[in-house]
A and B are shown apart, each in its own frame.
Chain A
Amino acid sequence: MTATLSDTTGANNGDHFQSHYIPSTTGEQAEMLAALGIDSIDQLFADIPVEFRNPTLDLPAPLSELEIQRELGGLATKNRPLASGPSFLGAGSYNHFIPAIVKALITRGEFLTAYTPYQAEASQGTLQVIYEFQTLICNLYGMEVANAGMYDGATSLAEAALMACRVTKREKVALASTVSPAYSAVIRTYCQSQDIAVETVDPSALNLDGETACLVLQYPNFLGYIEDLRSSTDAAHDQGALAVVSCDPTAMGMFQTPGHYGVDIVTGDGQPLGIPASYGGPYVGLFATKQEYIRQMPSRLSGRTVDKNGKTGYVLTLQTREQHIRRERATSNICTNEALYALASTIYLAAMGKHGLRQVAELCYHKAHYTAAKIGELPGYSLPVSGPFFQEFVVQCPAPPAEINRKIMERNILGGLDISEQVPDGMLICVTEMNSKEDIDSLIAALVEFR
């Protein structure tokens, strides 16, 4: 940076700093100050009590773009990217193929640097994308209405539990023990302050009561297996409770939809739909429900309407649910969500389409089942959970999974998640279309060697 650090001390520190992000020159600043009849920027801050004004600001010296590329490029090399070797880690963030067009389109400045589409006439692109997103998420989950997206899969599920409490006017959430521990933790945080009780239940032996607002499930469940959504949903409905399901969107490429089983609220994380793992975010929360609950939904909705000349257009609608209108009585405090990644998911679903998404799901299914069968044959390893699964499954290891993972990393293989807290010596392995047969065989070889 060719910084004119002519004045880096005292009250004017910063006022004459020429950044490449700030066009005004010292001369232009002087013109503007003259128009105001003052001679320094510092005078504009006179409302700040003088004893607190211009504190020391201990930040490192600025770096030029060249230097920052070097510094952060260096930091990035201290991480191991998924693409740098075989990777079998899932558990809520999945390694799927992302077509090049997704990044090419979401980084167009017209999408990337647009504001929330409150001014509909100036935001038809974003609004139509949201409408497309709502349509495709409904089609994916077999539901009637979807919103413009939430922060992530965990917060979507927590907000669904809160919504079920509003709909049923009850204050108890039955949380299946097979829901992701991270998602369960977020549900507890969201419920604790509103005096909503959260009870853990075994989804294979349900015994719900008439005080329960909802039954919360995951599909496929945290361990990767397909639960009987029909009987769970019926059990919830029998007690006047809603069925709330967090659902992996990729599994929808082949498995029956939650909507088919009568589920009331379906949530999910859109990350598998064209969004990089990015150390956990930004992702986008998916949220769909039945038409009758529309006014209890959180977050934005784009609606189709006409302009005054009769031309089709889109607007944010049913905003009386939201915080900027309803304030403390809003359905949620959510405002900024993850619009850019709703766009990414929409582009992904458009490109993958009917055939591509099915193919992705089937590749994951066959590769995961091939891997499971191979591991099941290895001495010392077993598959302790039975039942149909999608792309993740549990392996019981002959040694602590953390130890095995450390050893196989010596061959640059990223193993599955250590779930020994849930299953003794358990490892949750995820196989997707990104894992070639060669990757899988190298995992099998490493597991044999390091058991």
Chain B
Amino acid sequence: MRQGGNRQTEKLLMERSVPGRVGVVLPDLDVPAQVLPDNALLRNELPLPEVSEPEVVQYFTGLSLLNFSIDTHFYPLGSCTMKYNPKINDEIAFQPGFAGIHPLQPAEQSQGALDLLYRLQEFLGEITGLPAVSLATLAGAHGELGGMLMIRAHHLANGDTRRRKVAIPDSAHGTNPASAAMAGFDVVELASDKDGNVDLEALHEVAGPDLAGVMITLPSTLGLFDTNIVEVCRIVHEAGGLVYGDGANMNALLGRVKLGELGFDVAHLNLHKTFSTPHGGGGPGAGPVCATRQLAPYLAAPIVTKNGDAFELSTPEKSIGKLSGFHGNFGVLVRAYTYIRTLGGAGVKSISGNAVLNANYMMNALRGTYHLPYDRTCMHEVVFSADLQKERGSSGLEIAKRLLDYGFHAPTMYFPLIVHEALMIEPTESETKETIDAFIQALIDIDREVTENTELVNNAPHTTPVARLDEAKAARQPNLRWQPEAAD
């Protein structure tokens, strides 16, 4: 890891505080001072730091240099789609005409914003083949909750109160069962078959009158396109259930297939993955929900509708209600719109093509060095197992940590849960062949190190700002905020 300047970052803000320092100068009061409320209503102490502006800038810049990021490092993180985040998208979103507008100002004063949101609804409907779109949900898991509440509302509207069960493949991301539970469903795990597809026999077993629906990630977190998918949708529909699509892996499918045409009823997209909006160290995201016309009345409020030449916010007829304070993560939506508009249809399709080509190229180059539990053409990501290396003394975790020393972020580890020692690698379309080749070489070199110098691998990382951290201590004696010594 590069050395990032020599500004100290160890001391925390409260420890840096020096009485009398100020970080901002504000204008004087320009109206007559008013009577203050009863003193009992006012606080005496405001324990915030006293630091000057240069210190704030230097401290946070110093902290930033302790991070890996897409602009500084390759992130082969499976199912996270850490692609390049175009700078023009940020510039557009930060314009005063977008960043400086109030969510409750009248529609006449927000026509540009509403027009953009309306167009984005149309784009996402076109891309997914699910034309009814709400942009109001603020992250992938939030979209899942919205979509599952729509499924619930659909069954209840049909007077069908028995459908309490949702089936979710064992390869699913943890948010799927958590979202289904938050939407009030009982979760049943669905096994995968030997090819990584949904096991149709297992599906038949749960497809009864109590099945509300299934949640499917396509391609799955194994990086595989489920060749039974049309049959899966048919079985669920025949049983009266609906099919939810987790769009976390849409980067593989852009322009190649539409979820709506395959039989999905409702899906969410992760704009902070597929549509290039920056991940921000853990958000903001945006998780729009796309559904069939049949489910349109249930969409989360608000949606943007067009009335003559004017755009307005409206609440769908049987809406599940509001899921967020205002109208969605507008700044993220502006970025995604800009991205799609920059690429057009052919560009959008070139994303999936290059992402899938890069992943298969990587799979092919590492086949033989690392165990490949599902050896078939992969989509945008490939899942290896470090079982072979573990036999020689280094687990998937240790290999992942060693990659940090080579200047690469670790892959997604130990996920999906159905693969031993899983290393899930997603190169995305925005990496050069040189980077991909260097990453392949690093994994080959580490495999050799496992044999020749196991300790070197098992004590990694050696070059990061801190070595491996004591997570057990962090959980056993939680220290979650700074407190003055005296208060300890």
Contact = CB atoms under 8 A, between A and B. Distances in A.
A62 B256 CA distance: 18
B30 to A, nearest CB: 4
Interface string B272-314: 1000101111111110000000000000100000000000000
Given A117-B282, A370-B31, A126 B48 contact: no
A386 to B, nearest CB: 12
B486 interface: no
A143 to B, nearest CB: 9
Given A13-B255, A93-B326, A352-B23, 10 more contacts: A24-B358, A57-B255, A79-B109, A92-B103, A113-B70, A129-B281, A193-B182, A281-B331, A294-B480, A336-B284
Interface stretch (B74-82, B387-395, B447-455): B74-82
A14 B101 contact: no
Given A22-B350, A44-B360, A339 B280 contact: yes
A128 B61 CA distance: 12
B149 A193 contact: yes
A17 interface: yes
Of A84, A340, A367, the most chain B CB neighbours within 10 A belong to: A340
Contact of A335 (B41, B92, B175, B284): B175
Interface stretch (A101-109, A199-207, A232-240, A377-385): A101-109
B100 A328 contact: no
Contact of B109 (A324, A338, A409): A409
Contacts of B129: 55
Interface string A58-93: 111111010011011111111111111001010111
A358 B47 CA distance: 11
Question: Which of B29, B280, B326, B404 has the most CB atoms of chain A within a 10 A radius of its CB?
Answer: B280
A167 interface: no
B97 A77 contact: yes
B329 A281 contact: yes
Interface in B208-230: 224-225, 227, 230
Given A28-B433, A353-B50, A81 B361 contact: no
Identify the interface centre among A19, A36, A99, A417: most chain B CB within 10 Å of its CB: A19
B261 interface: yes
A300 interface: yes
Given A62-B346, A281-B331, A328-B181, A112 B280 contact: yes
Size bracket of the B interface: 35 or more
A314 B257 CA distance: 42
Nearest to B459: A308
A110 interface: yes
B139 A315 contact: no
B433 to A, nearest CB: 5
Nearest to B479: A304
B67 to A, nearest CB: 4
B464 to A, nearest CB: 4
Interface centre among A78, A121, A388 (most CB of B within 10 A): A121
B256 A48 contact: yes
A446 interface: no
Contact of A47 (B29, B90, B91, B227): B227
Contacts of A81: 96-97, 100-101
B48 A151 contact: no
Classify chain A's interface size: 35 or more
A99 B180 CA distance: 41
A226 B41 contact: yes
B163 interface: no
B223 to A, nearest CB: 11
A91 to B, nearest CB: 6
A14 B348 contact: yes
B154 interface: no
B106 A54 contact: no
Contact of B338 (A16, A68, A105, A194): A68
B123 A59 contact: yes
A155 interface: yes
A188 interface: yes
A185 B65 contact: no
Contacts of B227: 47
Interface stretch (B8-16, B199-207, B235-243): B8-16
B99 A24 contact: no
Interface string B414-450: 0100000000000001111100000000000000000
Contacts of B141: 323, 333-336
A60 B357 CA distance: 25
B469 A307 contact: yes
Contacts of B23: 99, 350-353, 356
A148 interface: yes
